[in-house]
Structure 1
């Protein structure tokens, strides 16, 4: 019989800087995403990390998607 999934889940982190174009306030055509894992028991809120975005070519804030 299979075991539980456990506490760790796979999450997707999306760049907040290249998601919205500042001049038009609309979504851009491309944005960069990372995948990672988190422990849902220890970190119940959404994860935010500063990582490198090759699309923006800067270190920017990445937020967890639903």
Structure 2
């Protein structure tokens, strides 16, 4: 039997400004989102809302 490769993969997006600033605030943490992307595309980068920064920031793909 032939094993099929799935083209869609699950990725985790992480807030870039929280990572750079070290997140020293009332709530410590890093904003993360889980989504899917095409396996053959370049690294994913989206603007999402960060609840720790309280604004829309760039979220980049995290290596697993």
Give the TM-score, by structure 1 length.
0.76
Runs of 4+ in 1 over 2 A off after TM superposition: 1-5
Residue matched to 1:52 = 49
Using the TM superposition, name which of 53-62 and 1-10 deviates more: 1-10
Q: Which runs of 5+ in 1 are unaligned?
A: 22-26
Query: Does residue 39 of structure 2 align to residue 40 of structure 1?
Result: yes
Number of residues of Structure 1 aligned to a counterpart in Structure 2: 59
Residue matched to 2:6 = 6
SS in 2 for 1:20: helix
Q: Which runs of 5+ in 2 are unaligned?
A: none
SS in 1 for 2:48: strand
